[in-house]
Amino acid sequence: MFTGIVTAVGELVSLEDGAVRRFTVQGPWAAQSLTLGASVAHDGVCLTITGIERGEGGARYQVEVSPETLRRTTLGDWKPGTRINLERPLKVGDELGGHIVQGHVDGVGVIAAREDRDGWMTLKVSAPEALSPFIAEKGSIAVDGVSLTVNAVSDDTFDLMIIPHTASVTTLSRLQAGMRVNLEVDIMARYAARLSRNGGQKDA
């Protein structure tokens, strides 16, 4: 489980194609602080560490990505040099600074427009139709793994305002119109929608 508070930005060093695509990622953490089998969110996608190497300025580690994950996320677009939002999982007792994020991407959105003004970045994002019912004004959403507040909703788009700090410590500053992003809607919105459909009654 994650919070959508990105703690580091890594870089894709290399990739290997095969039955399962394998990525090597350069991260800032010491190799001894990582564990085989541990989970790390990469642009909002929870992936398992399958190999660890000492690297300059941190560690290089491997993760494996299934065809299903490639199909449902933006990870199939990655190339060596791609910068990646990283978040290690929440520990018991940690501060929940963002919102509950599972690392299970619900769909891919497209940046419809970007506006920069006085250091602030405003994004309009087009979301898949199936996700629209779960996106609400002043609600939370994870975009490329970053917990953000929805400013406005209109049909199949929603607006975000990115503060300068968030832009500077994540990869969101690179986003331009036409680029694809991973979206995970607030799990609380999913439960609320299900309860609403069931008239507030529990499933039998």
Q: How far, in Å, CA of 41 to CA of 115, rounded?
A: 28
Residue 18's pLDDT is 81
CATH of 8-87, one of 3.20.10.10, 2.40.430.10, 1.10.150.120, 2.40.30.20: 2.40.30.20
Q: Which one, of 39, 37, 9, lies nearest residue 25 by Cα?
A: 9
Residue 187's pLDDT is 79
Overall CATH class of domain 107-195? mainly beta
| Domain residue ranges of the chain, discontinuous segments joined by + | 8-87, 107-195
Same fold, 8-87 and 107-195: yes
Residue 34's pLDDT is 95
Residue 100's pLDDT is 85
Query: Which residue numbers in the chain have pLDDT < 70?
Result: 92-93, 95, 191-204
CB-CB contact of 184 with 105 (8 Å): yes
Q: Which long-range contacts (CB under 8 A, 24 or more apart) does 199-204 make?
A: none
Residue 93's pLDDT is 64
Residue 201's pLDDT is 55
H/E stretch holding 23: strand 21-27
